[in-house]
Amino acid sequence: MQQMLPYCNWSQRRLRRLLERALKDPRADSLLSVTIAPPTNEKLAGQLLQALPELREAIVIPSLQTIDQRAVNTYLGVAAAQVFTPRFRGGQGIGFSGGTFALWCVEALPHQ
């Protein structure tokens, strides 16, 4: 949780107390749902698709120069995982050639 932007400045102790209280709540199964939706620039993505007709899809996310590098890595991984996860089927293998971007994406994929 500490890597997620709203909580990045919270101490481990404060995060732990928040989670303990939330999980003790009898409504925890329906109470807790976390979705991270990185913003996208649909207009620029559309312009890219028009300019480069060989592209099938373009996803543009805003610059993140104002946040720390660790948060940028997490943000990029989450954005990539959200794009690729719906394309996978149960039992399907995934191969990555390597690199830090691939690592960030894999770390953000849902664990199953």
Give the DSSP per-residue string, the chain: -TTSGGGTTS-HHHHHHHHHHHHHSTTHHHH----------HHHHHHHHHH-TT-S--------TTS-HHHHHHHHHHHHHHHHGGG--TT-------SHHHHHHHHHSPP-
Residue 9 lies in a domain: yes
Q: How many domains does the chain have?
A: 1
Highest mean pLDDT among 19-23, 49-53, 70-74, 94-98: 49-53
Residue 28 lies in a domain: yes
Domain that holds residue 27: 1-34
Q: Are 96 and 52 in contact (CB under 8 A)?
A: no
Residue 76 lies in a domain: no
Residue 6 lies in a domain: yes
Residue 57 lies in a domain: no
Average pLDDT over residues 41-62: 90
Residue 60 lies in a domain: no
pTM of the model: 0.49
Tell me which of 82 and 4 has the higher pLDDT.
82
At 32, phi and psi to the nearest 5?
-100, 115
Residue 14 lies in a domain: yes
pLDDT band at 54 (very low <50, low <70, confident <90, very high): very high
Instruction: Quote the pLDDT of residue 97.
Output: 67
Which of 64, 73, 66, 60 is CA-nearest to residue 3? 73
With vertex at residue 103, the alpha carbon angle to CA 111 and CA 69, rounded to the nearest 5 degrees, is 115
Neighbouring CB atoms inside 10 A of 109's CB total 16
Residue 10 lies in a domain: yes
